[in-house]
Amino acid sequence: MKLMRITMRNYLIYPIFGMLLLSACVDQEVGQYPLDNVAPDNVKNVGVENLSGGAILSYDLPSDEDLLYVKVIYHLDNGEQVEQKSSAYTNTILIEGLGKSREQDVQILTGDRSKNESKPINVKIKPLDAPIYDVFSSIQMSNDFGGIRLVWENENKSDVVITVMRKDETNKFVEIDHIYTNAKNGISNVRGQESKDQEFAVFVRDRWQNRTETKVGRFFPLFEEELDKGKFARWNPPGLPYQDLGQGWILQNMWNKSLATPGFSTPTGMAKPMNITFDLGQTAKLSRFKIFQRSDAAQLYTGANVKRFEVWGSEHPNVNQDFSTWKKLGDFLSYKPSGLPLGQVSEEDMEYAGRKGEDYMVDLESPAIRYIRLVVHETWGSTTHTQIMEVSFFGQIQK
């Protein structure tokens, strides 16, 4: 009887096990093979909105229950075929990456979960010129200290690359700088060029390798040299007491050739405007200066970084508390390339203000000076103190 019970139990177990195994196989097949071979219907009532460098297609979706996507097929200006997909839960699809404006056919089709696709239908589009062409036409080049200055507009804030070239001694253009930008109103300085008459050129491209023609001009970079930071010194005249936070955040850190913390900081709770004075240790006719922002711990373009300020100068140390014996070198406003809200920064912002330092131009008619007075009216974070990691000054040193 005992043997019989075991045998009967096995007879019951084996069929159940077989059913489970069969069920597992069926489930596996469902995941691996198409459910059917019936193609979905295509979209209907296709509308076209032409954009700069592309278009948006809108349409009515078919009623197929297993519809998975809508796909558009088109060709870039270089002949490369591109496929873009949009889900079955939206009724628009974006075409992008096209260059010069021209009428062309694109194909639109649908696909389902069984990997069936409908027959494509042709749609005519005529995109506007890609954003690079508007950026290119707006570029203005001019002489600058140590190189040339570029100014441009980028209304769509598109990601573009401005390539700068210089003609070398073999009469060939060589690339000397690449400016990656999506700034709406852009400014960039190309430095490190000899002070002599020479030919420069620029062109603009995008990530799809569309590129403009080349703009060429002759320019004469103005002579300048960087002032020796080894001669800078802390200094404050009567009536303008020197203040720093201490705790390592001392004035001399502004010229220690380091962007690491600590830099310089005034104490908190200071009334505005905040005055910062120091001695350059050499008399110079300034062309420009750089201020490097504090960029650690998400401080860039926020916190105590300088935003709106004035710079005054004097050739001698005998100055008054008021501004009667100082010469104004300019009113300045910190520039944020991305234009993003407070607390948000782009890679371009990091490069401009954190690594390269913000460039501020001094009026060419300004007199030669030795002593500097920074007057800070506003910081990016509206704080009651201000911080500067490093400063650099450039110009023509009076021998």
The whole-number average pLDDT for the span 339-366 is 91
CA gap 127, 102 in Å, rounded: 7
The whole-number average pLDDT for the span 370-383 is 97
State the pLDDT at residue 34.
57
Burial of 374 (0-12, 13-18, 19+ CB in 10 A): buried
- In the chain, the percentage of residues whose pLDDT exceeds 90 is 78
Domain range annotation of the chain: 44-125, 131-219, 225-397
Instruction: Provide the 3-class DSSP secondary structure of residue 216.
Output: strand
Residue 368 clears pLDDT 50, i.e. is over it: yes
Give per-residue pLDDT as tens, 227-253.
999 999 999 888 777 778 878 999 999
Name the pLDDT band for 321 (thresholds 50, 70, 90). confident
State the pLDDT at residue 375.
96
Residue 82 clears pLDDT 80, i.e. is over it: yes
Question: Starting from the edge strand earliest in sequence, which strands make up the sheet with 198-205, in order?
Answer: 173-181, 160-167, 198-205, 215-219
More confident site: 1 or 262: 262
State the pLDDT at residue 237.
86
State the pLDDT at residue 31.
52
State the pLDDT at residue 353.
92
Residue 83's CB: how many other CB atoms inside 10 A? 9
State the pLDDT at residue 92.
98
The whole-number average pLDDT for the span 137-144 is 96
CA 69 to chain centre: 33
CATH superfamily of 131-219: Immunoglobulins (2.60.40.10)
Q: Which tokens sit at 211?
A: 């590129």
The whole-number average pLDDT for the span 333-340 is 91
Architecture of domain 225-397: Sandwich (2.60)
State the pLDDT at residue 324.
86
- When mean pLDDT is compared across 30-44, 61-75, 114-128, the lowest value belongs to 30-44
State the pLDDT at residue 22.
43
The helix or strand, by DSSP H or E, that contains position 349, with its residue range, turns out to be helix 347-349
CATH superfamily of 44-125: Immunoglobulins (2.60.40.10)
- When mean pLDDT is compared across 54-58, 185-189, 387-391, the lowest value belongs to 185-189
CA gap 69, 86 in Å, rounded: 6
Residue 12 clears pLDDT 90, i.e. is over it: no
State the pLDDT at residue 366.
93
Give the sign of the dihedral formed by CA 344, CA 349, CA 353, CA 356.
Answer: positive
Contact 68, 111 (CB under 8 A): yes
More confident site: 60 or 365: 60
Q: How far is CA 197 from CA 143, 167, 177, 306, in A?
A: 10, 11, 19, 36
Average pLDDT value for the chain: 90
CA gap 1, 8 in Å, rounded: 11
More confident site: 378 or 322: 378
Residue 377's CB: how many other CB atoms inside 10 A? 15
CA gap 334, 388 in Å, rounded: 13
The whole-number average pLDDT for the span 142-149 is 92
More confident site: 178 or 1: 178
Give per-residue pLDDT as tens, 13-64.
445 444 444 444 444 445 544 578 999 999 999 999 999 999 999 999 999 9
Whether 44-125 and 225-397 share one fold: the answer is no
**At residue 188, what is the residue type?**
S
